[in-house]
Amino acid sequence: MEHYNMNLTLKVWRQKNAQDKGGFETYQVKDISSEMSFLEMFDVLNEQLINEGKEPITFDHDCREGICGACSMHINGQAHGPWAQTTTCQLHMRAYKDGDTIVVEPWRAKAFPVIKDLMVDRRAFDRIIQAGGYISVDTGNAQDANNLPINKDKADESFAAAACIGCGACVASCKNSSAMLFLSAKVAHLALLPQGEPERMSRVTNMVDQMDKEGFGSCTNTEACEAECPKGISVQNIRRLNSEYIRSVFSGDDK
């Protein structure tokens, strides 16, 4: 793979806090290696700003390995950028060429207020998990895995749903700012396993109620969420969520 350097124009959203109007500022970065990650490129830009006596750009990051879900940038109109099933931190600059202009914004959603610049407050997801995304367990040693026989197909489906990293790209890419893909993944991966059975009925209604309280929009099945999800979470989980919700409500055991 050919290595090359490039000069880029960056249009970055700057905003002091949730109350500030905010706006785009334009920066030039030079000699960016094609082997850098997108966040490493931002590190270079921030070093440049600090050396110029200016305030660096605030952005969220942690593991930089595509695992934690912290990185959250809307890049040229796409959540996490142009590469399919790739987080911002795993996007590399070889996706761009010399002279490109890149527009970078934070997630846009009422439930994700801007903290500063490109960092948003995603604690709404935490509160949804607190409402029901857990299982009951006894203290003491864990049971041997073979004591709980699980159908292979269900185990695979649960594993695929559990791959959700809670980054919020589904919300950012949805025209309604819906969190249904995130919520459905969290409900599905527990509903498919026997460990999730004790709270199965109350879990789905409590989590849906909390999602509505947080101000997320409704799902209208455009499937932009799956298309932009860096982990490829399937919208089939939304079908399962709806099924679980109906079952819970009609069972009368939803609280």
Domain limits, the chain: 5-105, 123-251
The answer to whether 179 touches 241, Cβ cutoff 8 Å, is no
Instruction: State pLDDT tens for residues 62-119.
Output: 999 999 999 999 999 999 999 999 999 999 999 999 999 999 999 999 999 999 999 9
CATH T-level assignment (fold) for domain 5-105:
Ubiquitin-like (UB roll) (3.10.20)
What are residue 12's DSSP bridge partners? Answer: 25, 104
Q: What is the pLDDT of residue 167?
A: 97
Q: Which of 134-143, 171-180, 187-196 has the highest mean pLDDT?
A: 171-180
Q: What integer pLDDT is reported at residue 28 of this predicted model?
A: 98
Write down the pLDDT at residue 147. Answer: 81
Average pLDDT over every residue of 119-133: 97
- One fold for 5-105 and 123-251: no
Determine how many CB atoms are found less than 10 A away from the CB of residue 254. 17
The pLDDT-based confidence of 137 (bands split at 50, 70, 90) is: confident
CATH of 123-251 given 3.40.50.1980, 1.10.1060.10, 2.120.10.30, 3.30.70.1230 = 1.10.1060.10
pLDDT confidence of residue 255: 55
Residue whose token pair is 């993944």: 185
Q: Is 176 exposed, middle or buried (0-12, 13-18, 19+ CB in 10 A)?
A: middle
Query: Quick one: angle between helices 180-191 and 200-214, nearest 10?
Result: 170
> What is the band of 3 on the pLDDT scale with cuts at 50, 70, 90?
very high
Closest alpha carbon to 173 in 79, 94, 110, 105 = 79
pLDDT the model gives residue 253: 63
What six digits make up the tokens of 190?
Answer: 């527990």
Rounded Cα gap, residues 115 and 134, in angstroms:
28
* Token output for 232: 């490829």
Q: State the pLDDT confidence band at 254, using cuts at 50, 70 and 90.
A: low
Strands 114-116 and 101-105: unpaired
Residue 112 Cα distances to 81, 214, 225, 248, angstroms: 19, 9, 16, 29
Above pLDDT 70, what percent of the chain? 98
Mean pLDDT of the chain: 94
Q: Is the torsion defined by CA of 185, 190, 193, 197 positive or negative?
A: negative
Strands 5-14 and 101-105: parallel
